[in-house]
Structures are given as C-alpha cells and as structure tokens.
Structure 1
Amino acid sequence: MKGIPRAPLILGLAGLIPFIWGALTYLSDDLHTWGTHTFGSRFVGPYVQLFYGSVILSFMSGVLWGFATKTSGRKAATCYMLSVLPALWAFFKTGGGPVSTGTNLMYGFAGVLILDALFAYWRLTPTWWLRLRVTLTAIVLACLAVGVYL
C-alpha cells in the first residue's frame, strides 16, 4: 500500500467494513443474531453485502466518470460510456436472490477492476489508483464469495 495517500487508503479500507461484516455475520450464527438484534436484519449476512455492493458499484461509475473528464474527443466519449456500465450492471443484475446477486456483484467488481486498469493505462487515474483498487477488490470478492459459495 506504499505510495497511496492516507485519506484514500483509510476511506477505502473503511468502505470494506460492510463487506467484511456481512461475511462474518454469515459465518457466525451468534454474530448474526447479535447483529440482527442490534442493527436489524438488513444489516447482517448477505443482505448488507448485496445492498452495499450495489451502492458501491454505482459509486464506482461516478469515480470513473470523474476520470473521463480528464480526456476529450472520442476517448472521452468512450470513457463516459464505460463509466456508466457498473451502475447499469448493478441495476440490471441484482435482485434475483442472494446467490445470483452475489455472483453478479462479483462479476461487476471484477469488471470495474478491468475498467480501472484501462483508465490507468490511459493515464486518467492517479499513479497509486490501481494498487489501491486491486487490494480493495480482492477483499470485496473474498467477502462476497462467502455468501455465494458457502
């Protein structure tokens, strides 16, 4: 994580909390029960992961849109078009049950990482961006996999 500014690193890691919490409450019945009584059923297990994952995919569309503003012409049009894909994916590919939604979110986050790499290749992102995104995406995918594969 060397070279990543402190604020994006801390905020990025903090953004993992709902994914990690969802995985932990999926794996532990006691933690799930405590979380349900403390926070409500929407904030435990796959429910928190799936809703939050849809929100974050949409957020990532906005981030990519911001990167698209750094170019012009045809490349800008391509970047703007690519930037809306994560939000559209979240809209159309979630809601079909926890396993299919979790699977589709995993594909969505992997797809965003590919878009991150493309935007980094085009030098539209900060130099540290891809290092941060690879780490965050790996953790998100591992957490979502708990609900999909266990």
Structure 2
Amino acid sequence: MNGIPRAPLVLGLAGLIPFVWGALTYLIDDMHAWGTQALGPRFVGPYVQLFYGSIILSFMSGVLWGFATKTSGSKAATCYLLSVLPALWAFFKTGGGPLAAGTNLMWGFAGLLLLDAVFSYWRLTPAWWMRLRMLLTAAVLVCLAVGVYL
C-alpha cells in the first residue's frame, strides 16, 4: 500500500465491502439470516457479489477507457478495444446460475488484472496503479472463491 494515494486506497478498500459482505453471509448463517431479513435476499451471499461484481467490471472498463485517452493512433484503438472487454465479459458471462457466474467473474477479474498490467506497461496508468489493483483483485478473488468453492 506504500505510495498509493489515500483517496484511491480508501475508496478501493471500501469497494470491497459488498464482496466481503457476500462472503461472510455465505459462511455465517446468522449473518445471512439477518441480511436477508434486513436487506433482502439479493443483498446476501453470492447474489450481492455477482451483481456488484458485474457492475465493477463495467466500471473498470470505463477506467481503462480513460487511460486509453492518453495515447493516440493504432495504440489508442487497441486500448479502446481492450477497455470494453471487462464490460462485455460481465454482460455475456454472468448468467447460468451462481456457480457459473461466480467462476466467470473470477476469470473476469483475473483478466482485468492482465489488462491493468498491459496499460501499466504502456505507462498509461499512475505509477501506483498495479499495487492497488493487485491488492484489490486478490481480495475480490478470495471473496468470490468462497461462493464458488465452498
């Protein structure tokens, strides 16, 4: 976390809350029951993770699109094309039930990390970007794995 500006770090960590909450409500029956009663069944277990994960992949497409604006020509065209892949992945691959959707979201976030690395390699991201993205992606993958593998 060294060198990551405070605002992106705090907001990134706060963005993990629905993933962590989903994992906890999957693992702890009393939490699941309370969450279902207080928030509704869509906001517990894998359901909150899947819905929110799809939104975040789409959001990250927008972030990558923003990085694409820092270049021009054929590299820009490549970056714009790459930037839409996470949103398209979320749109096409998050159906088929919670197990398939969770697995596909895990692949989507892993693929997003690769795209982050490419944009970072091309020096389109801030210097601290990959440190933040590795931290957040690891946490997301662990949380999604709870619903997929347990």
Cα distance per residue 1:82-121 (max 9 Å; x no partner): 0000000000001110000000000000000000000000
2:32 aligns to what? 32
Q: Following superposition of structure 1 onto structure 2, how do residues 93-132 of structure 1 map, counting pairs within 5 Å?
A: 93-132=93-132
Unaligned runs of 5+ in 2: none
Identity over the aligned pairs, expressed in percent? 82
Shift of 1:7: 0.3
Q: Following superposition of structure 1 onto structure 2, how do residues 69-108 of structure 1 map, counting pairs within 5 Å?
A: 69-108=69-108
1:43 aligns to what? 43
Give the paired residue count: 150
1:148 aligns to what? 148
Q: Measure the CA separation in 2 of the matches of 1:103 and 1:133.
A: 19
Shift of 1:55: 0.2
Code of the aligned partner of 1:117: A
Question: 3-state SS of the aligned residue for 2:125?
Answer: coil
| TM-score in terms of structure 1 length | 1.00
Q: Measure the CA separation in 1 of the matches of 2:95 and 2:121.
A: 33
Question: 3-state SS of the aligned residue for 1:49?
Answer: helix
Question: 3-state SS of the aligned residue for 2:123?
Answer: coil
Question: 3-state SS of the aligned residue for 2:71?
Answer: coil
Q: Measure the CA separation in 1 of the matches of 2:45 and 2:93.
A: 19
Q: Following superposition of structure 1 onto structure 2, how do residues 51-66 of structure 1 map, counting pairs within 5 Å?
A: 51-66=51-66
Code of the aligned partner of 2:76: A
RMSD across aligned positions (CA) = 0.3
Code of the aligned partner of 2:7: A
Q: Measure the CA separation in 1 of the matches of 2:42 and 2:19.
A: 13
Shift of 1:44: 0.3
Give every structure 1 segment of 4 or more consecutive aligned residues whose post-TM-superposition deviation is greater than 3 Å.
none
Q: Measure the CA separation in 2 of the matches of 1:25 and 1:42.
A: 12
